[in-house]
Each structure stands twice: as C-alpha cells, then as structure tokens.
Amino acid sequence: MKKLLLPVLCFAAFSLHAQENVLQYVKPITGTQKMGHTYPGATVPFGMVQLSPETDTLPYEMNGKYNGDVYKYCAGYQYEDKTIVGFSHTHFSGTGHSDLGDFLIMPTVGQLQLNPGTADHPESGYRSRFSHSTEVAEPAYYKVKLEDDNILAELTTSTRVGFHQYTFPASDQSHIILDLMSGIYNYANKNVWTFVRVENDSLITGFRQTNGWARTRIEYFAMAFSKPFKQYGHENYANDVYKGFWRKFDQTKNFPEMAGRQIRAYFDFNTTAGEKIKIKFALSPVSTEGALKNLRAEIPGWDFEQVKQAGQALWTKELNKVHIESRSREEKENFYTAMYHAFINPTTYMDVDGSYRGLDMNIHTANGYTNYTTFSLWDTYRALHPLFNIVQPKRNADMIQSMLHHYDQSVHHMLPIWSHYANENWCMIGYHSVSVIADAIMKGNAPFDVNKALDACVTTARHRNYDGLGYYMDMGYVPEDKNGSSVSKTLEYAYDDWCIAQVAKKLGRTDLYNEFIKRSTNYKNVYDAATGFMRPRLNDGTFKADFDALQTHDQGFIEGNAWNYSLYVPQYPDEMIAMMGGKQQFTAHLDSLFTMELPDKYFAETEDITRDGIIGNYVHGNEPSHHVAYLYNWTGYPWKTQERVRMILKKMYHPGPDGLGGNDDCGQMSAWYIFSTLGFYPVCPGSDQYALGSPAIDKATLQLENGKTFIVDVKNQGDKNVYVQKVLLNGKPLNRLYITHDEIMQGGEIVFYMTMTRIKRI
C-alpha cells in the first residue's frame, strides 16, 4: 500500500534527551484508513477530553437493520473522507465497537444551516471540505483549514477541557454550531435527553444523556466563548407530541433554556478578517458545576499557544519514559506512535476535586488515587497493562483501584469486563480484570488491599449466571449448545483462574489456590486429540460435528479460529505442547500457521479483520494470537520466535494512515509493538517472566518511576541480523529465554548480540 504521511509541524519542547524531540516522530492518525480506528485529534496522556474531527454522520441502523458502513467510523474519522462535519470531545481509540462523539462543534459563515448536509454535497449543510495538505496532527494539537468557509480550525486540550481556536474571515454571519444530536454509532433513540442553559452572553452549561454501548451515560459540560455572541437559538428535531406549557414561549431564539432529545444550537457573531474566536469546553461526569470547576482550574486564561505547549510537554514527559536509538526514522515513528497510542487509554474519569459518577449512578470521591474509565480488558490485559506495570506503575495501580471501586458499586458484584463512563457494557468474554490485578500483585505493584482484591476476583469468577460460567464450574467447560463462543470462553476462564490461583498462593490462601489451580486445567476438556485442535463440546459431552478449524463463525470461537485459539494456554505452555504431540509436532503446527494460505471466505464476514491483518493463518489483527510467535521459545527453536517477531513488526506496522494491521483496541496492538521492539514480551501476565524475542532498535533507555534506569543495548543490529547470538544481563550471560520483572525494575542493562545466523538453543 502507498504510505501517506501527514505533515508534521516541528517545535521546541522539553525533553529528557535534549538532543532529540521525540514528538516529531508521532503520527497520531496511523491506523484509520482500513482499520485501527484511531483519530488525529488533540488529547493529553490519559485525558478525559479527546477532541477530534468527525468526517461523516452515518447512522448505526438503516431501515431497522445494522448499517455495516458505520463500522468505519468507530473513532469518527476516516482518512479517505473529503469533508469534516465538526469537532467532538469524546472518542475511543481503536475499538471494534463504539459510542461517544459527544458535543460536536462546527464554525461556519454565511446563511445559517443546522443540517450537516452530505459528503457529496457539503454545501447543503454545515460540513466543509478539507485537504490533508492543510492538516497538521500532533500530540495535543490538531489544525485544518475548513475550505468551504475559509476558517482555520485549531484544537488543543488539557485533561478535562477542550480548547478550540477558529480564525474567521470578515463576516456579519459567523456562527458556532453546537450539535447535541451528533454521536458515534448514532441512531434515532440514542439521545435520551439534552439540556442547555445560557448563563450569560459568553457562557453556557448543560448535559447529554445517551443510551448506547453504555446504556445509561450522562456527561455534563461548560462552554465558554472568548467573545460575547450577539444572538443564539436552537432547533429541536424530535417529534415529541407532548410539549407541556413551555409552548407559551418562543424557545427557538434567544431563550436561555434549551431542552429536548434532538437539539442543534447556534451562536452568532460578527467577525473581522483574521479574527480568532476561542472556545473552552469542559467536561464533567458529575455536574455543570463540576465542569465549571474543571474549566477554571485547568485553563483559566485564553492563551491557546500556552495550553498547547503545556499539553505537548506532558506528552514529551510520558514518551521519554522510553528513549530509543535507531538509525531508522521509520522505526522511531512506529515506536513513538505506538507509545502515543498506548498512553491514550484508559481515560481519567473524575473532576479536579476527585468526584465522579459511579456504576451505581451515585457520586463518589476518589481519595488518594485517580479514577479511570475505558477498560477494554479483553484486549489490554495481554500487553498494555503489563507495559504499565513497567513504565506507568502508579497509573496502573490507580486503574486497579478504579476497577475495585467498580466492583464495590456493582449490583452484580463483579469486576469490570468492558466498562466506560460509569457503565458496564459486557463486551467480549472472560473476566480479565483478574489478570490485570494478578499481574500487578505478582509483580509487587499493589498499593491496595490485596486480600480484598483477591476476594473480588473470586466472587467475579464464581458468578454462575455470567456468560456460561455456571456450566464451566459444573462441567469443566462451556457447552456450545448452551452458550456460544464456548471454546474461547473455556480457555480464557481457565487462564483467569490460573491468575487467581497465583495470587491465592502468594497470600497463603490454600483453599482458594486448590480450587482455582484445578479450574485452570479446564483447557484440557476442549482439546480434541483426534483433530489436534481445541474444539467445541456439547452438553452431552460429545464434540460438535461439522467442525471447520479455519472458520471463526459458529465454531465455538470469538475473533479467532481453532488454528489460532488452540494455542491459547499461556499459563501452561509446556503442558499444551506435550498435549498437542510434543515439541517437533507443535513446531510444525506453528510453522504451518504462519505459512499456510487462509482463503478470503474465512474472514469475509468479519468486520475488523482484512487480509492486511493476517500472515498465513496467523491473525495479528486480533488479540488472541499475540503471544503465539513467542511459543517457539518452549519448543527448542527460539530462532523461529526471533524470525517471526521481526517479520510481524515489519508487516503489521508502518507510519501511514493504514499503518496498523488491525484495531489498536485501546493500545493493545501498540503495546505488542513496544514490547516486541524492545526484545521481550509478557506471554503470560500474572507471571513475573517476559519471553525474549528479537529487539528491533539499537538501544533503549527505560526511565523507571523508582528512579532507576533499565537499558536495552543491541549489538550488530540490522534488518538481516534478526537472530540472537547471546544475551548478557548486567555483564553476565543470561542462559535462559526470559527476563524477570524484578530484573527490569532493579535497573541495569541487558545486551543482545545479534547475528544473521540461526542459533539453536534448547
């Protein structure tokens, strides 16, 4: 594919490595063209506001059916689109389902149009054409020319406040449109209610409540203008029969309260040529008062450049936690773009005073920690949270405290599965909060009540009416004829149970250890020795007939087929290999996975995987296979791990708009890249070991929060020198294929000596 790179505006910024500005290597929109669903807008690390352009307004449903084209707009932005509809304040990064897109703002001039119009005829509404030649995307900054109205749009943010700067032409018909109907994965009844209150001639407040992926979500805002508006109004597009006695007022123009399900508001100005109208837009999960507090605390003034520089300084600090040296600019762009993506989510979810809306819809206060939301745990337990345990341990501990408070507030008494904005959306399978909690406890990053955390894990894992779990507890597997995706669930439950067992053992709770270590072997119950694959079993104990190991749909798997999912026993790789025929047979199986041809028909119905995310039948674009290349380390062929990892790095990542081979899934795809580029990977979170691979940079320096430094030094690096000849840890030979978490966190140096010759180490 053609690699299309955005122009990057260089600027001076503080850096721990003053000789190099790492921000210049970040390509914020990598992954948007075919999949990846990232966006080019402005945000700060883990920010509550993620301010970005929307490029279309496709509905979630058409004629009562799901509209497949809407999947392209999981993040609201498509690089191939030619028009921008506006700029909204909340987004997901790289998810395969979506929500949000709240509070869309669009500047216009000329005759007021409150309909967005169409992509083919943008002049029919308020949207505008744009060109990538005027588009600048950087961490904490976005700029584009809205061509139809000759308006320059610039965006930046603090944690809770979006800052807009629009440079207008001369006009006595300049408008700022606030679209409270617009949203991502939108449909007619998604908006439950919206409310706007005009406080004065330059300040409005309000809220929006929606019923979407998060079915009971409410977000408050405060919107301040740098210049008084001369008049304002709104249109309510909902056909509500009951209008009450508000009908005695003309509410459409200069009426200080706007309320309804489908509202678009406007604010009118006179502007001179080159005049800048600035907007500060603060969010709060609690109240408009909270939004105002956030606004005044984080951006008290109107200096756009100062806020931009402050946001970019935050990014510089975070990105410099890992400083790499490489002769390849593309490698640096890949790496720091991955770091950028990894530090977007989870997102801060509380006001500056610590208050937040809980899962019980009541207001709580985060005392001594930052409350987070956006937990895409089926994805991020694999590598993102293990990465945080190294480079963001304080944040990761706060994220776990957020999960534990979710548990306290849950009427189901369960830890998060996939949660956002004070809602559990129950997406995907497993109970992988358990993995995140166990990984932190086993690695010594647990400044919370570990016994209480274990109790929450156990209660979650015993929740019989959750997703086939009762069958699993009684039968040792999930029967496919009782609960779909049964093999995937059985395998993932067994792994999570192993995590619980490790914590129980560490805390001396023998009864729980015995219970869950036994459950952790349930993977054996879905292995069919006759076919050599994991295979769905039925309630009567027989294996499902008409089994196709290449098919994903209706075969007992979710986002993967038997070839990929049969390798998912990360807690017991040696036992899995023996079960599947021993090292030689298992190695041949892995070889076939990477080299066979998967016909198009097997992923034709899968939205989030195209040919670009597949190597042979190895599906890197979905997470269940992310550990697979490292399994050669357990078969006596580590050179094959090294070869495969370097191949995946080259094929699945590059710094263009189509630069990811699958959805980034809130940073998991990027975390895989970061670990693998550094030369090690957490095959089994909950263990303290990282499997060694093949580092793809010359040198990396990890600045750890404990004040220590861990260095990865790579000798004889090169595209052909993908094999590891030897490894030294702090000057001594490392005669094993893993490094431990403690060895990293103690600081020191690991040195890889690379060669083009395959080195066989068993």
Question: Over the stretch 520-577, which tens digit does the pLDDT of each residue have?
Answer: 999 999 999 999 999 999 999 999 999 999 999 999 999 999 999 999 999 999 999 9
Mean per-residue pLDDT, 454-458: 98
- On whether residue 68 sits in a domain, the answer given is yes
Number of compact structural domains in the chain:
1
- On whether residue 238 sits in a domain, the answer given is yes
Between 604 and 13, the higher pLDDT residue: 604
Provide the token pair at 11: 């600027």
What is the sign of the dihedral through the CA atoms of 511, 517, 520 and 521? negative
Query: Residue 558: what pLDDT?
Result: 95
- On whether residue 35 sits in a domain, the answer given is yes
Query: Residue 2: what pLDDT?
Result: 31
Mean per-residue pLDDT, 442-453: 98
Query: Residue 658: what pLDDT?
Result: 86
Separate counts of helices (H) and strands (E) for the chain: 17, 39
Mean per-residue pLDDT, 413-442: 98
- On whether residue 477 sits in a domain, the answer given is no
Name the pLDDT band for 34 (thresholds 50, 70, 90): low
Between 90 and 243, the higher pLDDT residue: 90
Name the pLDDT band for 36 (thresholds 50, 70, 90): low
Q: Tens digit of pLDDT for each residue in 700-754?
A: 999 999 999 999 999 999 999 999 999 999 999 999 999 999 999 999 999 999 9
Q: Is residue 8 pLDDT above 80, yes or no?
A: no
Query: Residue 16: what pLDDT?
Result: 41
Q: Tens digit of pLDDT for each residue in 692-714?
A: 999 999 999 999 999 999 999 99
Report the distance separating Cα 204 and Cα 244, nearest Å: 24
Q: Are 589 and 532 in contact (CB under 8 A)?
A: yes
Query: Residue 11: what pLDDT?
Result: 31
Name the pLDDT band for 14 (thresholds 50, 70, 90): very low
Name the pLDDT band for 18 (thresholds 50, 70, 90): very low
Between 539 and 247, the higher pLDDT residue: 539
Between 244 and 256, the higher pLDDT residue: 256
Query: Residue 12: what pLDDT?
Result: 33
Q: Tens digit of pLDDT for each residue in 253-297?
A: 999 999 999 999 999 999 999 999 999 999 999 999 999 999 999
Name the pLDDT band for 19 (thresholds 50, 70, 90): low
Question: Per 3-state DSSP, what percentage of the chain is helix, strand, and coil (rounded to 5)?
Answer: 30, 25, 45
Q: Is residue 9 pLDDT above 70, yes or no?
A: no
- On whether residue 135 sits in a domain, the answer given is yes
- On whether residue 177 sits in a domain, the answer given is yes
Query: Residue 10: what pLDDT?
Result: 33
3 state SS for 705-738:
CCCCEEEEEEECCCCCCCEEEEEEECCEECCCCE
3 state SS for 105-118:
EEEEECCCCCCCCC
- Sequence-distant (6+) residues with CB within 8 A of 408 are none
Name the pLDDT band for 241 (thresholds 50, 70, 90): confident
Query: Residue 729: what pLDDT?
Result: 98
The angle that helices 638-652 and 668-678 make with each other, rounded to 10 degrees, is: 130
- Sequence-distant (6+) residues with CB within 8 A of 503 are 437, 438, 441, 442, 450, 453, 454, 457
CATH number of the domain at 270, please: 2.70.98.10
Q: Are 1 and 294 in contact (CB under 8 A)?
A: no
- On whether residue 557 sits in a domain, the answer given is no
Q: What does the CA dihedral 494, 347, 681, 586 come to, rounded to 10 degrees?
A: 40
Mean per-residue pLDDT, 105-119: 97
Q: Are 214 and 274 in contact (CB under 8 A)?
A: no
Q: Is residue 35 pLDDT above 70, yes or no?
A: no
Cβ-in-10-Å burial (0-12, 13-18, 19+) of 546 comes to: exposed
Q: Tens digit of pLDDT for each residue in 624-675?
A: 999 999 999 999 999 999 999 999 999 999 998 888 988 999 999 999 999 9
Residue 591's φ and ψ, nearest 5 degrees, are: -55, -45
Q: Are 36 and 27 in contact (CB under 8 A)?
A: no
Provide the token pair at 58: 């496709």
Q: Tens digit of pLDDT for each residue in 188-206?
A: 899 999 999 999 999 999 9
- On whether residue 353 sits in a domain, the answer given is no
Write the DSSP symbol of residue 390: H
Q: Are 222 and 205 in contact (CB under 8 A)?
A: yes
The CA-atom distances, in angstroms, between 348 and each of 344, 433, 715 are 10, 18, 40
Query: Residue 476: what pLDDT?
Result: 98
Q: In the predicted model, what is the mean pLDDT of the chain?
A: 95
Domain range for residue 82? 22-317
